[in-house]
Amino acid sequence: MLNNKRQGKLAAVAVMAATALAITSCGSSEPSKPAADGGSASAAAEPVTITVHTFGGGENFGYDEAVKKWNAEHPNIQVKYQNLTDRFEDVYLPQLLQKLQAGSGTADIVGIDEGAMGLMKARPQFFADLGQYGLESRKADFPAAKWENGLNKDGKLFALGTDIGGMTMCYRKDLFEKAGLPGDREEVGKLWPDWNAFMEVGKKFQAANPGKGDPKFLDGPNTLYNVVLSQEGPKNGNIAYFDTNNQLVIDKNPAVKTAFDTVKSFSEAGLTAKLASFTPEWNAAIKKGGFATMGCPAWMLGVVSGAAGDENKGKWDVAAVPGGAGNWGGSYLAVPAQSKHPKEAAEVLNYLTGKEGHVLAFQEAAAFPSSLPAQQDPAVADLKNEFFNDAPTGQIFGASVKDLLPLFLGEKHAQVKTAAEKVLEGMDKGSIPYGEAWTKFVEAGTKAAG
Amino acid sequence: MTLNVDTPAPARPEGPRRASGHRSSGRGGNGLARFDLRATPYFLVSPYFLLFAVFGLFPLVYTAWVSLHDWELAGDKTFLGLDNYAELIADEAFWNAVVNTLGIFVISTIPQLVLALMLANALNKRIRGRLFFRLGILLPLVTSVVAVAVVFTQLYGRDYGMINWFLGLFGVEAIEWQNQSWTAWIAISTMIDWRWTGYNAIILLAAMQTIPKDLYEAASLDGASPRRQFWQITVPMLRPTLVFVVFVSTIGGLTLFAEPVMFEGNPTMAGGATGQYQTVAMFIVKEAFRDFDMGYASAAAWMLFALILVGILINYSFTRRIGGKK
């Protein structure tokens, strides 16, 4: 961030210069990169440090324990793990792209959200071919769709899956009971078989909390929108904003319209706290009980427990989601071609996306494994989440990801998603009238795709 | 300025060793001395021009080159010619950013400069604790822009902000300051003014102190009131400084970036759901590093450059006239 208005121009010019130099320099250095440098002999002689960068709120990827274990067992390959930011599309992704383009600065292993996988697939030159290090053998460990999303446009394996979203509804048990609603997760799940029923529960909840400072039923537009989109997408050709030919269909895909209309109806009914997700205000409201429900893919549990803090243990709980199964999010790990130790990085990546890494991450951050052996492991299947009132999250998410088909996401999915959700936020907050919101929504998405 | 950039380059490699080879021609050390006399000044000023070439001129030219392409960050590049500029001129979002930038500029800079002038005049008088006040008005400048913006953004908070609390005492409904253009502009302008009014006041004060005292004495003897002295002597004598202050404010105002970004609270660079307070600088960053369209962003950067030139020309023609109707 520029820290001086007067120097703004100068700094901007300097940044441009740096970028420009980076752009020119990368053209020449690219071809020589893929060759692994440092043979296995020299690698064994002195310890190699492998850096891992991820993103995400709260407990994010949950690799603290897994990394500790690896480092204790592998004195020759030490892993340094760092979570860079809680914002993916507008902080992590641009920085990653700039570093990839510059040819230096990325970690040896980088986390990538599913939303940007289309973008990365189209840029095979930036990533190491994991097949070269024998990771093709992992194919049987993953659901077909998760595996195929890790292949680039040339058909080479460049990324392996970490977690998978699944879908549930997080709710504040204490606020529900205060509003005269049931608190038990089985009963809560039965309250809302579909979104209409969810709306009725919401109205009841809001009627019991009419005051200005009282909690709202929902957090805001983003989580609800993504949940509904992930449920409707599979019913409409398994796509979101782009069809499988990478043509924008934001205005034609009924799944998008349904998700939009659902958000609109909840917003119009005054059930949202008008908070955009992954903002400081949103985090504060999770902690202070500013709202009672939000859509929760598995990884969101780690975000909630991280934001709410230990003092709120037991206040949040997890119930079935209205409207059935869906997948929102889930990530991948890849090794950039610029890594100096691609072989060792591939080994670490293999471990983190292997059964053990998956299980440890699930225990730490509730990120549900995409790895099939890990899903069947009793440590996952029988795990209860202490923070969420000992909810049997292994069982709940295991059921929700069965037969799951992750959506096809186009190359510019991340950009379109950001732009379109911005309009939802504006509509919810009142700066865009409800009547004009759909047109604005399509316009913003179309512009971001262009 | 740019014309001078090339001159130091040929002067440098002509070291003394080369020159010594030609000395046999008879004129002896005279040639070397004369060469030294002519080349050294260029050599001494060259570091600035070299740095300027690397960090100023090269990016400028390179940005122009990028702006002629469909240049995706870490992606494909195709030559487009002037298509980016054509698209930009037809782009509502860009003009929206221009209007926001100009709007914030006008409602922040004009009160700021008037206030700075008044403050400087007051501090130029004999008052108790003059040094204290002079330092005091400069104090906001040492705080970081981000800190200022964070604090002000909290003051303007919808639910728990002090300003809404204060307005609430008079029965005003809680305002969501980010939600509308004009409220956002006001909020951002106050951040700018809080930080920069004192800075401009100090510069004007320094200029005021160079005005010869005998002018005021003569005016007093002729019976001119202090007010008349201010408008007829102080302001006209300040003209060169005012021109400088206005130029710097124009450049700063039109490249406004940190305050609105912090005011938004998240780094999407959108300046609100419908871009209510997205400035041109934010627009450029958004295009380049959120939508990964470097070519389009570069074109917007050049448009901003042109805009600043126009802005400065307009302001120059205004300030030139100050006190000029004698």
Closest by Cβ to B273, choosing from A12, A280, A422:
A422
Whether the CB of B254 is below 8 Å from some CB of chain A: the reply is no
**How far apart are the C-alpha atoms of A61 and A53, rounded to whole Å?**
10
- B268 contacts in chain A (CB < 8 Å): 90, 418, 422
Residue A43 has pLDDT above 70, yes or no: no
Lowest-confidence range among A194-208, A219-233, A389-403, B111-125?
Answer: A389-403
**What is the token pair recorded at A30?**
């690219």
**How far apart are the C-alpha atoms of A230 and A239, rounded to whole Å?**
9
- B252 contacts in chain A (CB < 8 Å): 5-6, 8
Q: Where are the alpha helices (DSSP H) in A105-253?
A: 117-121, 144-148, 173-178, 185-191, 195-208, 221-232
Average pLDDT of B42-53?
90
Looking at residue A394, what is its pLDDT?
Answer: 87
Looking at residue A60, what is its pLDDT?
Answer: 85
Looking at residue A38, what is its pLDDT?
Answer: 39
Instruction: Write out pLDDT tens, residues B146-166.
Output: 899 989 998 998 777 899 999
Average pLDDT value for chain A: 87
> CB neighbours (10 Å) of residue B18?
10
Looking at residue A221, what is its pLDDT?
Answer: 96
Question: Which of A97, A431, A443 is most worth mutating to test chain B (most B CB atoms within 10 A of its CB)?
Answer: A431
Q: Which residue has the higher pLDDT, B74 or B169?
A: B169
Residue B11 has pLDDT above 80, yes or no: no
Contact A17 B54 (CB under 8 A): yes
Contact B273 A431 (CB under 8 A): yes
Question: Which of B2, B66, B72, B290 is most worth mutating to test chain A (most A CB atoms within 10 A of its CB)?
Answer: B290
For the ranges A37-51, A115-129, B16-30, the maximum mean pLDDT occurs at: A115-129
- The answer to whether the Cα torsion of B118, B123, B127, B128 is positive or negative is positive
Closest by Cβ to B55, choosing from A13, A426, A429:
A13
- Angle (deg, nearest 10), helices A342-352 and A355-365: 60
Assign A117 a pLDDT band (cuts: 50, 70, 90): very high
Q: Which of residues 181-200 of B touch A (CB under 8 A)?
A: 192, 195-196
**Residue whose pair of structure tokens reads 């590049």 in the numeric block:** B77
Closest by Cβ to A3, choosing from B74, B146, B292:
B146
Lowest-confidence range among A49-58, A208-217, B28-37, B229-238?
Answer: B28-37
| Residue in B closest to A17 by C-alpha | B59
Burial letters A357-380, b for 16+ CB under 10 A, else e: bbbbbbbbbbbbbbbebbbebeeb
Whether the CB of B175 is below 8 Å from some CB of chain A: the reply is no
CB proximity list for B134: less than 8 A, separation 6 or greater: B123, B202, B205
**Residue whose pair of structure tokens reads 């209860």 in the numeric block:** A384
Whether the CB of B42 is below 8 Å from some CB of chain A: the reply is no
Work out the minimum CA distance from A76 to partner chain B, whole angstroms: 33
Q: Where in chain B is the domain with CATH 1.10.3720.10?
A: 86-320
Catalogue all structural domains in chain A, each as residue range(s) with its CATH number.
38-164+330-381 (3.40.190.10), 168-328+392-449 (3.40.190.10)
Question: Which of A1, A3, A4, A5 is most worth mutating to test chain B (most B CB atoms within 10 A of its CB)?
Answer: A5
Looking at residue B321, what is its pLDDT?
Answer: 80
Looking at residue B323, what is its pLDDT?
Answer: 59
Q: In this structure, are strands A291-296 and A216-218 parallel, antiparallel, or unpaired?
A: parallel
- B251 contacts in chain A (CB < 8 Å): 6, 9
Looking at residue B27, what is its pLDDT?
Answer: 52
Instruction: Write out pLDDT tens, residues B221-238.
Output: 999 898 899 888 888 899
Residue A397 has pLDDT above 90, yes or no: no
Looking at residue A32, what is its pLDDT?
Answer: 38
| Residue in B closest to A424 by C-alpha | B273
Assign B280 a pLDDT band (cuts: 50, 70, 90): very high
Work out the minimum CA distance from A442 to partner chain B, whole angstroms: 13
Assign B39 a pLDDT band (cuts: 50, 70, 90): confident
Average pLDDT of A60-67?
92
Looking at residue A46, what is its pLDDT?
Answer: 78
Closest by Cβ to B257, choosing from A2, A98, A440:
A2
Looking at residue A403, what is its pLDDT?
Answer: 67
Residue B325 has pLDDT above 60, yes or no: no
Assign B99 a pLDDT band (cuts: 50, 70, 90): very high
Closest by Cβ to A426, choosing from B266, B269, B273:
B273
**How far apart are the C-alpha atoms of A446 and B183, rounded to whole Å?**
29
Whether the CB of B75 is below 8 Å from some CB of chain A: the reply is yes
Looking at residue A150, what is its pLDDT?
Answer: 93
Q: Which residue has the higher pLDDT, A403 or A436?
A: A436
Closest by Cβ to B290, choosing from A5, A10, A90:
A90
Assign B180 a pLDDT band (cuts: 50, 70, 90): confident
Assign B28 a pLDDT band (cuts: 50, 70, 90): low
- A9 contacts in chain B (CB < 8 Å): 251, 255
Residue A432 has pLDDT above 80, yes or no: yes
* A385 φ, ψ (degrees, to nearest 5): -100, 110
Task: Provide the percentage of residues in chain A whose pLDDT is more than 90.
Answer: 64
Looking at residue B5, what is its pLDDT?
Answer: 42
- B54 contacts in chain A (CB < 8 Å): 17
Looking at residue A8, what is its pLDDT?
Answer: 43
Q: Which residue has the higher pLDDT, B309 or B324?
A: B309
| Residue in A closest to B292 by C-alpha | A94
Lowest-confidence range among A35-49, A88-102, B56-70, B268-282?
Answer: A35-49
Whether the CB of B180 is below 8 Å from some CB of chain A: the reply is yes
Average pLDDT of A30-43?
40
**How far apart are the C-alpha atoms of A326 and A226, rounded to whole Å?**
10
Query: With contact defined as beta carbons under 8 Å apart, do A330 and A162 qualify?
Result: yes
Question: Which of A6, A16, A21 is most worth mutating to test chain B (most B CB atoms within 10 A of its CB)?
Answer: A16
Work out the minimum CA distance from B215 to partner chain A, whole angstroms: 34
Contact A279 B276 (CB under 8 A): no
Closest by Cβ to A9, choosing from B63, B145, B251:
B251
- A87 contacts in chain B (CB < 8 Å): 266-267
Strand order in the sheet with A109-113: A77-85, A48-55, A109-113, A331-334, A159-161
Residue A213 has pLDDT above 90, yes or no: no
Lowest-confidence range among A8-12, B115-119, B129-133?
Answer: A8-12
CB pairs under 8 A between A and B: 123
> CB neighbours (10 Å) of residue B114?
11
Instruction: Write out pLDDT tens, residues A74-100.
Output: 999 999 999 999 889 889 999 999 999
Contact B261 A429 (CB under 8 A): no
Contact B258 A1 (CB under 8 A): yes
Contact A276 B266 (CB under 8 A): yes
Question: Domain B86-320 adopts which CATH fold?
Answer: MetI-like fold (1.10.3720)
Work out the minimum CA distance from A186 to partner chain B, whole angstroms: 35
Work out the minimum CA distance from A192 to partner chain B, whole angstroms: 31
Work out the minimum CA distance from A354 to partner chain B, whole angstroms: 30
For the ranges A229-233, B38-42, B278-282, the maximum mean pLDDT occurs at: B278-282
Closest by Cβ to B273, choosing from A3, A122, A423:
A423
Average pLDDT value for chain B: 86
- A427 contacts in chain B (CB < 8 Å): 273
- A101 contacts in chain B (CB < 8 Å): 73-74
Q: Specify which residues A369 forms β-bridges with.
A: A163
